[in-house]
Amino acid sequence: MMLVDHEAQEVFPYVLRKYQNAHLVMMKGIRYITITDDAIQVILDRLQRERADFKRTVEYYDREIQGVEYLLTGKKRYYWSPDNYIVEPVYAEQ
């Protein structure tokens, strides 16, 4: 059962009286009242998938930051993201 926070807090004691193995889980601002361990496993799997997606996003930004930081060394004048490959610029005077 999905509820907003105040509704879940209000209803949970009644659910717990009827189902002793009930759990109250909060994820992304939504409270879930679960009765079975399978429901807990579904929430856990979803959180693990979202964590993996977030980890990939952080790794992407880390690569981008390292590339841009390399510009500060003075050894390179341009940076092209490996994910957005563009041929390096050729200047007319060369």
This model's pTM is above 0.75: no
Q: Which helix (H) or strand (E) holds 6?
A: helix 5-18
In a domain, 19, yes or no: yes
CB of 89 closer than 8 Å to CB of 80: no
The phi-psi region of residue 74 (left if phi > 0; otherwise alpha if psi is between -120 and 50; otherwise beta) is left
Domain count, the chain: 1
In a domain, 85, yes or no: no
| pLDDT tens by residue, 1-56 | 666 777 778 888 888 888 888 887 877 777 777 887 787 788 888 889 999 999 99
Domain span holding position 10:
2-73
In a domain, 39, yes or no: yes
In a domain, 79, yes or no: no
How far is CA 94 from its chain centroid? 46
Q: Give Cβ neighbours of residue 22 (< 8 Å, ≥ 6 apart).
A: 12, 15, 16, 33, 34, 35
